């Protein structure tokens, strides 16, 4: 099960903004702000800037490069998981679920 997921909308190409109320912090290793390392399905590492602002979680930094490299489109979903074997260099994994792939 994903720690956090979001269907990408038109405002997410430069930074990913996830709004909501969370019972616990989805990314405890990132603290309230700072950097977090994630690895994608191709085992490529990405360094995202992470910020909490009220009920929003905002990812930026290499997010824009990740977005373009993975050819993410509006309607695709991104899901974050604890890293359980995708690569040793990150605490989290990111998965792109293509619109209409279910």
13-30: pLDDT as tens digits? 999 998 877 666 666 655
* Percent of the chain predicted with pLDDT > 70: 84
Global confidence as pTM: 0.85
Structure tokens at 29: 């290793």
Closest CA to 16 of 94, 91, 85, 90: 94
What is the model's pLDDT at position 25? 65
How far is the CA of 54 from the CAs of 24, 42, 48, 68, 94, in angstroms?
14, 33, 19, 28, 23
Task: Give the pLDDT confidence of 42-51 residue by residue, as tens digits.
Answer: 889 999 998 8
């Amino acid at each position: 099960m994903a720690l956090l997921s979001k269907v990408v909308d038109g405002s997410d190409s430069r930074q990913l903004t996830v709004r909501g109320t969370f019972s616990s912090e989805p990314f405890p290793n990132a603290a309230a702000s700072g950097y977090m390392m994630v690895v994608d399905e191709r085992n490529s590492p990405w360094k995202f800037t992470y910020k909490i602002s009220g009920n929003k979680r905002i990812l930026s930094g290499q997010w824009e490069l990740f977005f373009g490299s993975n050819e993410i489109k509006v309607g695709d979903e991104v899901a974050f998981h604890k890293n359980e074997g995708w690569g040793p260099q990150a605490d989290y994994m990111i998965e792109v679920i293509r619109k209409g792939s279910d």
